[in-house]
Amino acid sequence: MDKTKLAERIESDLIGPLAIPRHVLYGVHTRRAEQNFDVSGLRLRAFPELIQSMELISELPGVRDTLTAFALSSVIRK
């Protein structure tokens, strides 16, 4: 069997089936956007600091909620 076939999975949307690399976590819509909107030729993997910043920002609401719950619990205990 061809190794490239093993390295891909097939996903479908309204446009039709599309081969997606098996190791990636995104799906058919992201793959189509990646193929159709290659404007700059740059990839996010070239900017690890940006990805780390986005990860930190996504964690902030959880930190805020934890701190709020802690503050409220100390007020309620009084």
In terms of pLDDT, which residue wins out, 76 or 32?
Answer: 32
User: Residue 17: what pLDDT?
Assistant: 96
Backbone Cα Rg of the chain: 21
Confidence of residue 69 (pLDDT cuts 50, 70, 90): confident
Cα(29)–Cα(27) distance, integer angstroms: 6
Digit-coded pLDDT (tens) for 2-60: 565 679 999 999 999 999 999 999 999 999 988 888 778 887 788 899 888 888 888 88
How is the chain split into domains, by residue range?
1-41, 43-78
User: Residue 62: what pLDDT?
Assistant: 83
